[in-house]
Amino acid sequence: MTQEENLKQALVGKFGYLDGKINITRERRIFLEVEYQNFANVFEYIVNQLNFHHLCTITGLDEAEKLSFIYHLSLESGVLLNLKTGVPKQAPVIKSVIKYFPGAEIYERELVDLFGAKVEGLPEGNRYPLTDDWPKNEYPLRKDWKAKGK
Amino acid sequence: MREEEKFKIPIGPQHPALKEPENFSLALKGEKIMGVEIRLGYNHRGIEKAAEARTYVQDVYLLERVCGICSHAHSTCFVQAVEEIAGAQVPKRALYIRTLIAELERIHSHLLWLGVAGHEIGFDTLLMYTWRDREIVMDILALLTGNRVNYGINTLGGVRRDINKEEIETINNGVDILEERTKYYIEVATQETTIIKRLSGVGILSREDALELDAVGPTARASGVKRDIRHDDPYAAYAEIDFNVITDDHSDVYGRTVVRVKELMEAYKIVRQCLKDMPDGPITVKVPRKIPVGEAISRYEAPRGEDVHFVKSNGTEYPERVKVRAPTLANLRAVKHMLKDRFLADMPIVVAAIDPCFSCTDRLISVENNGSRDKQFLTWEALRNYSIEWHRDKGIDFTELNKNFRKRLGSI
């Protein structure tokens, strides 16, 4: 059995509700989606038990009713696991993952500025990447946001 | 220590010694850096948003312009993701050409870095030497793609220009010269006391810290972390190519220098293999304008480290979402760590040692004489001679000095 299949089995074995939600799109690429209420457990397991010790980045997505986030995690052997989760756009609150990955701070700040996510546990600090005088409640990467012409 | 005992100095976003707009706020006690805050975003151009309003083909050119130095890295990373969603089988010859350009880009980027590093520690002779030699690879890139930077060689489904026998010979000759020169730089980097003393023990990042802070590229490899996307998650033709992942255990700026000069030697090896093993055949395959619904993530080992592009499509000719994570962003957290408790004077070289991406769009324009009478055209040699004559007229003559130098330098 391939490494990807092994990882899939381990995940389904641990979390039964992931059955049918894990998609191996090609060699070294695994995509899976979890409800936000299960995110913390699955994330912790993937990092600590399956040894995905490198967070490539976090992608934010505006999907109409909800904001989704994909955590791109990598094994040293090159397998890339894309863990997707989503929260309602009305209350887009997620917990920070900096206790696992201190380097995630900048990726989470990006979600705050560009998507309007509220990240709990993010320390005080400079915003990124928008300017300090950027107007409130304007989130450029949301689909309804349009650049204003001169 | 009490807050008021620290002296805060802002460096940037506009600062004479900084080559791109970033803001470092350093809290000092005496000459020692007690705390570092980095404010980014001054160069944020909204490219991800702009990509959503452009077609996939337009985006290849837009994303190529994320960076002026590793432009091929970004365009390749993007087209790979789109091709994966579209299920395009890119011809092997195209993959080899992409790999070839990728390594030539790495050569130009690492030589550029070596020069900048030399400059930052006041060793400008090294800057002059490496940037002179870098012209060889810039000329090769211009020959193959038409451009010194922003090559425009990639397209969805392959590459836009083929490569012929004469070009292969030119590349081989150029690489031979560069290899000789690089051997000399390896000698300089590993034996020259000034370099060793100035760079050793500066900007320390232990292996554990590099792993914890998710450092990438030569920054991670110089801390003994064997992390190289070309090897771990092979793309283009890398799966068929024999090369070594260079690592070093010095874990400081000196180690980063050693990794980069040795990577130059590997790059020459890869270029030669690409030229030797490049199969015949088409260079592109048709990819539909409308990309089916799907998502893909592509990784690429840029000269500065892992580059990541995520693409989500919605069945139209416009992408739903394009996410880019360039290597410098991944390494900045490590810079913060490297600067803490070090001296202020080390700051320029420590920051330069991760090779933050500077825009490099200088180009030498060569114009063909089209018979116009009122313009004068000079070859490089004629321009050089003109310059020598001009200075001689003003009473400045280096002829004797040059002769003496040549004798002393011998074969270099």
Domain with A71 in it:
3-87
Nearest CA to CA, how far is B294 from chain A (Å)?
Answer: 10
Sheet with B23-29: strands ordered across: B7-11, B23-29, B32-39
SS3 B305: strand
Q: What is the pLDDT of residue B360?
A: 28
Which member of B211, B233, B310 has the closest CB to residue A59? B310
Is the predicted ipTM greater than 0.90, yes or no? yes
The count of structural domains within chain A is 1
Ranges of beta strands (E only) in chain A are 22-26, 29-33, 54-63, 66-74, 80-88, 93-95, 118-120
* A102 belongs to a structural domain: no
Mean of the per-residue pLDDT values for chain B? 89
- Give residue B208's identity as a one-letter amino acid code: E
Q: pLDDT per residue over B24-74, tens digit each? A: 889 999 899 999 888 888 888 889 999 999 999 999 999 999 888 889 999
Mean pLDDT to the nearest integer, A8-37: 95
* A71 belongs to a structural domain: yes
Q: Give B299's pLDDT tier (boundaries 50, 70, 90).
A: very high
The Cα–Cα gap between B226 and B231 comes to: 9
Residue to substitute from B247, B321, B328, B337, interface A, most A β-carbons within 10 A: B321
Is A54–B214 a contact, with Cβ atoms under 8 angstroms apart? yes
Nearest CA to CA, how far is A96 from chain B (Å)?
Answer: 15
Q: Give A111's pLDDT tier (boundaries 50, 70, 90).
A: very high
Which member of A31, A60, A103 has the closest CB to residue B214? A103
* A115 belongs to a structural domain: no
Under 8 Å CB pairs connecting chains A and B tally to: 84
Q: Is the pLDDT of residue B399 over 50?
A: yes
The Cα–Cα gap between B84 and B1 comes to: 55
Do residues B331 and B384 make contact, with C-beta atoms less than 8 angstroms apart? no
Mean pLDDT to the nearest integer, B309-315: 96
Q: Is the pLDDT of residue B280 over 70?
A: yes
B39 touches chain A (CB under 8 A): yes
Q: Give B3's pLDDT tier (boundaries 50, 70, 90).
A: low
Q: Give A149's pLDDT tier (boundaries 50, 70, 90).
A: low
Q: Chain centroid to CA B222: how far?
A: 17
Mean pLDDT to the nearest integer, B85-98: 97
Q: Give B367's pLDDT tier (boundaries 50, 70, 90).
A: very low
Which member of B232, B297, B306 has the closest CB to residue A82? B297
- What is the full DSSP assignment across B13-68? SS-TT-SS--EEEEEEETTEEEEEEEE--TT---HHHHHHTS-HHHHHHHHHTT-S
Is B333–A103 a contact, with Cβ atoms under 8 angstroms apart? yes
* A46 belongs to a structural domain: yes
By CA distance, what is A79's nearest residue in B? B233
Q: Is the pLDDT of residue B294 over 70?
A: yes
Is B232–A76 a contact, with Cβ atoms under 8 angstroms apart? yes
The Cα–Cα gap between B115 and B11 comes to: 22
Long-range pairs of B45-52 with CB within 8 A, sequence gap ≥ 24 = B46/A140, B46/A147, B47/B324, B48/A114, B48/A141, B48/B321, B48/B322, B48/B323, B48/B324, B49/A140, B49/A141, B49/A145, B49/A147, B51/B319, B51/B322, B52/B318, B52/B319, B52/B320, B52/B321, B52/B322
Q: Is the pLDDT of residue B17 over 50?
A: yes
Q: Give B2's pLDDT tier (boundaries 50, 70, 90).
A: low
* A148 belongs to a structural domain: no
Q: Give B372's pLDDT tier (boundaries 50, 70, 90).
A: low
Tokens of A136: 């409130």
What's phi and psi for B34, nearest 5 deg? Answer: -95, -30
* A61 belongs to a structural domain: yes
Q: Is the pLDDT of residue B363 over 90?
A: no
Q: Per mean pLDDT, which range of A103-107, A122-126, B9-13, B267-271 is the poorest?
A: B9-13
By CA distance, what is B208's nearest residue in A? A53
Chain B residues inside the 8 Å CB shell of A61: 312, 321
- Per CATH, the architecture of B47-324 is what? Orthogonal Bundle (1.10)
CATH number at residue A9: 3.30.460.80
The Cα–Cα gap between A59 and B371 comes to: 55
| Cross-strand partners of B155 | B158
Q: Is the pLDDT of residue B365 over 50?
A: no
* A73 belongs to a structural domain: yes
* A100 belongs to a structural domain: no
By CA distance, what is B313's nearest residue in A? A61
Q: What is the pLDDT of residue B366?
A: 42
Q: Where are the domains of chain B?
A: 47-324, 380-409
Chain B residues inside the 8 Å CB shell of A82: 297
Is B233–A82 a contact, with Cβ atoms under 8 angstroms apart? no
